[in-house]
Amino acid sequence: GKAGFPIALWEVKRDLAAFLETHETGLGLQDIADEVASPDVKFVFDNLVLGNQAIPDAVYREAMDDMRPLIQAGYAEVFAANKLDALVFPTTPLPAQPITGSDETVSLNGEDVPTFPTFIRNTDPGSVAGIPGLSLPAGLTSDGLPVGLELDGPAYSDRHLLSLGLAIEAVLPHLPAPASN
């Protein structure tokens, strides 16, 4: 959204470049972008991270200084007002899709929608807020694809969220190892 993409895209440029340099990989951001195979990720790197549509510092600062605190306050209010230890919801709105045919769009409720924002829509708000989140394997679809159960907790509740995750994991069905092809 208005906060998530500016934060993530601005920070990937700064943080990935720093990581590559710190670990003396001999690679730069352009080297990474040149090797991206997925069309949607390639577009993001070529245009929104490195290109002329890259996030300006002022847009990043607005997202961090103005929008993020509002999102954090909203989460804090929901947790406190309802005395919640966690919010529980599906990690993604769809099970995993084959890369071929879904690299740019997927079908959700009979409508073709962009793949990347669709798959991150449930977890993006908590990530933007900086609250702890945990995804557990919760079951399999009829096609044998994994389904995740997400738990988001209040700020600084990491240890408690992990203990909740362990308790929930203990009652979820045991899943077989993924098939190897």
Query: Once rounded to an integer, what is the mean pLDDT over residues 150-176?
Result: 95
Query: Once rounded to an integer, what is the mean pLDDT over residues 132-136?
Result: 97
* CA–CA distance, 135 with 128 (Å, rounded to integer): 16
Q: Which of 92, 155, 88 is nearest to 122 (CA)?
A: 92
Q: Where are the domains of the chain?
A: 1-82, 84-181
Per-residue pLDDT at 97 = 84
Q: What is the pLDDT of residues 87-124, one digit of tens each?
A: 999 999 999 888 788 888 999 999 999 988 899 999 99
Q: What is the pLDDT of residues 12-49, one digit of tens each?
A: 999 999 999 999 999 999 999 999 988 778 888 898 99
Long-range residue pairs from 165-173, CB within 8 A, at least 24 positions apart, any chain: 165/134, 165/136, 168/136, 169/136, 172/136, 172/137, 172/138, 172/139, 173/139
